[in-house]
Amino acid sequence: MEIEPRERLDPRALQAWFFSGLIWGLIVVFIPLAYLFLARFIFDLPELYGWIAIGLVAIYTLWEAVIAPRIKLHFWRYEIRNDEIDIRHGVIIIRRTLIPMVRVQHVDTEHGPVMRIFDLATLRISTAASEHRIPALSRGKAALLRGEISALARVSDEDV
């Protein structure tokens, strides 16, 4: 437990998370904006609730796009050893996960449009019973790790 995993995520993750947080905020803010529009021009509704909702969305976006990514990046560590994958992550609840190599069923990498802009990818590790992710690795690194893990998993393969 004392030995923490060494590797960190790619620092570009901050920008990617900032963007995706911002995009989400912009999508969500449409709901109170629509409400305000309706309240002002069509129905006779109190406008106050709309402004409160916009404030909440702004706080949420600030958290999601600016604060949480920093904490997340600060705590995110992983290490791939010959026999196991050791992950530590979390923003409020810090989780430390241990996946033995023998239990790894398959690994894949994936990336969405925002991730693509910053040349990032997520590594997804599946066991027979659970799924674990290492988000925001550089795409080259993710592909490298995918190959490495699948090779290690094959070596230590045994009957489940």
Residue of 31, 4, 13, 27 whose CA lies nearest to 120: 13
Please report how close the Cβ of residue 50 comes to another protein at its closest, in angstroms: 28
55 touches another protein (CB under 8 A)? no
What CA–CA distance (Å, rounded) separates 154 from 157?
A: 5
Q: Report CA-CA distances (Å) from 73 to 30, 90, 101, 115, 137.
A: 29, 9, 25, 15, 11
Name 67's Cβ contacts closer than 8 Å, sequence gap at least 6: none
86 touches another protein (CB under 8 A)? yes
What CA–CA distance (Å, rounded) separates 126 from 66?
A: 30
Do the Cβ atoms of 32 and 50 come closer than 8 Å? Answer: yes
In the stretch 4-33, what mask flags binding to another protein with x, by CB under 8 A?
------------------------------
Sole binder of another protein in the list 8, 33, 53, 84 (CB under 8 A): 84
42 touches another protein (CB under 8 A)? no
In the stretch 127-146, what mask flags binding to another protein with x, by CB under 8 A?
xxxx-x--------------
Q: Which is nearer to another protein, 117 or 155 (CB)?
A: 155
99 touches another protein (CB under 8 A)? yes
Interface ranges with another protein (CB under 8 A): 1-3, 81, 83-84, 86, 90, 92-100, 102-103, 127-130, 132, 159-160
